[in-house]
Amino acid sequence: MLTDVHLKHTEELYTTPIVQQTALWSEVKHRLGSETLAVQFSAEQGDLFEGRGTGRFGSDLLVVVHQINAQECIAYVPYGPELEPDEPFQGLFLEELSECLRSFLPLSCILIRYDLCWESYWARDPEYFDAQGHFTGEPAAGSCEIRFNFSTVNGNFRKTLYNFLPAHTFYLDLRPEPEQMLRNMKPKTRYNIGLAGRKGVTVRSSGWEDMNIWYRLYTETAGRNHIRLHEQRHFEALLSARDALSDNAGRAELLIAEHQGVPLAAMFLTLTGNRGSYLFGASSGTGRNLMAPYALQWEAILRSRKCGCTEYDMFGTAPAPDPSHPLYGLYKFKAGFGGSLYHSMGCWDYPLQEEAYQAFRMSELCAGGFHQ
- Are 267 and 255 contacting, i.e. CB atoms less than 8 angstroms apart? yes
Report whether pLDDT(58) > 70: yes
Look over the chain and give the mean of its residue pLDDT values, rounded to a whole number: 95
Section 55-78 average pLDDT: 96
Instruction: Report pLDDT digits (tens) over 87-129.
Output: 999 999 999 999 999 999 999 999 999 999 999 999 999 999 9
Report whether pLDDT(318) > 80: yes
- Are 111 and 349 contacting, i.e. CB atoms less than 8 angstroms apart? yes
- Are 315 and 277 contacting, i.e. CB atoms less than 8 angstroms apart? yes
Give exposure, 1-34, as e/b (b: 16+ Cβ within 10 Å): bbeebeeeebeebeebbbbbbbbbbbbbbbbbeb
Task: Please give the Cα distance from 239 to 241 (Å, whole number).
Answer: 5
What pLDDT score was predicted for residue 369? 57
Task: Please give the Cα distance from 229 to 341 (Å, whole number).
Answer: 26
Section 320-330 average pLDDT: 94
Report whether pLDDT(372) > 90: no
The percentage of the chain sitting over the pLDDT mark of 90, rounded to a whole number, equals 91
Alpha-carbon distances of 320 from 144, 147, 159, rounded to whole Å: 20, 23, 21
What pLDDT score was predicted for residue 231? 94
Instruction: Report pLDDT digits (tens) over 145-204.
Output: 999 999 999 999 999 998 999 999 999 999 999 999 999 999 999 999 999 999 999 999
Element of type H or E holding 144: helix 141-148
Report whether pLDDT(371) > 80: no
Single out the residue of 318, 372, 364, 317 nearest to residue 159, CA to CA.
364
pTM above 0.85, yes or no: yes
Instruction: Report pLDDT digits (tens) over 121-145.
Output: 999 999 999 999 999 999 999 999 9
Instruction: Report pLDDT digits (tens) over 233-251.
Output: 999 999 999 999 988 889 9
The percentage of the chain sitting over the pLDDT mark of 70, rounded to a whole number, equals 99
* Pairing mode, strands 56-67 and 168-173: unpaired
pLDDT interval class at 323 (50, 70, 90):
very high
What pLDDT score was predicted for residue 203? 98
- Are 257 and 269 contacting, i.e. CB atoms less than 8 angstroms apart? no
**Which domains are present in the chain?**
2-165+345-367 (3.40.630.30), 175-309 (3.40.630.30)
Single out the residue of 3, 59, 72, 7 nearest to residue 36, CA to CA.
7
What pLDDT score was predicted for residue 95? 98
Report whether pLDDT(370) > 70: no
